[in-house]
Amino acid sequence: TPLPIGDGALLLRGFALGVDDALLEAVDAVSAEAPARRLCTPGGHRMSVETTSCGRWGWVSDAAGYRYAECDPVSGRAWPAMPEPLRRIAVAAAARAGHAHFDPDTCLINRYAPGARMGLHQDRNEHDFSQPIVSVSLGLPIVFQFGGLQRSDRPQRVPLAHGDVLVWGGPTRLAFHGVLTLKAGIHPLTGASRINLTFRRAR
């Protein structure tokens, strides 16, 4: 049963469980063409998460800033196309949350090893904030932090497990969010890692 966790945010526990193998196979195919890498923030810090993308646009970060790019800066080539199983789960989750026409043009793939984390931030690189964001958690569990519209708002902590899907729309689209440090563990499908898929309409 969908759990509202904020104004416009919906947690669909286990929504991706029936297609987890297909999603991970697609992630492997994308990673073979565009290997995940640790990006540098504009402030000069190396992110602890390994990142790659598929779809028309890919999210990148370097000394020049955060942005979407049509080419993978490592290979100089276009990002891999978004595999159908990925697109399908994102569109289905968005529809379940009331967004009937979600058409993602990018999927960011974040791979967390034990010790990796993501600090509180807003997602503001997209052009149309009325479009939702869909995120799918695979592999090891993690504690998600869901804050308010001000960085100073105290975040709620929400544990996320393999197969959980979140849809962010409405006012929560611009909420501060992040994840706490991944704890050590072994998941039968992903080994010592958590993989998060984030689907967005960039342009």
Site for Fe ion in 86-145 (CB under 5 A): 123
Q: By C-beta, is 123 or 164 nearer to Fe ion?
A: 123
Q: By C-beta, is 80 or 146 nearer to ligand MD3?
A: 146
Is residue 111 close enough to count as binding ligand MD3 by CB under 6 A?
no
Stretch that binds ligand MD3, among 38-46, 62-70, 89-97, 166-174 (CB under 6 A): 166-174
- 3-class SS string, the chain: CCEEEECCEEEECCCCHHHHHHHHHHHHHHHHHCCCECCECCCCCECCCEEEEECCCEEEEECCEEEEECECCCCCCECCCCCHHHHHHHHHHHHHCCCCCCCCCEEEEEEECCCCCEEEECCCCCCCCCCCEEEEEEECCEEEEECCCCCCCCCEEEEECCCCEEEECHHHHHCCEEECCCCCCCECCCECCEEEEEEECCC
Q: From the CB of 197, what's the least distance to ligand MD3, in Å?
A: 9
Q: From the CB of 86, what's the least distance to ligand MD3, in Å?
A: 15
Q: Which residues contribute to the site for ligand MD3 (CB under 6 A)?
A: 108, 110, 118, 123, 133, 135, 166, 168, 172-173, 175, 177, 179, 196, 198
Q: Which residues contribute to the site for Fe ion (CB under 5 A)?
A: 123
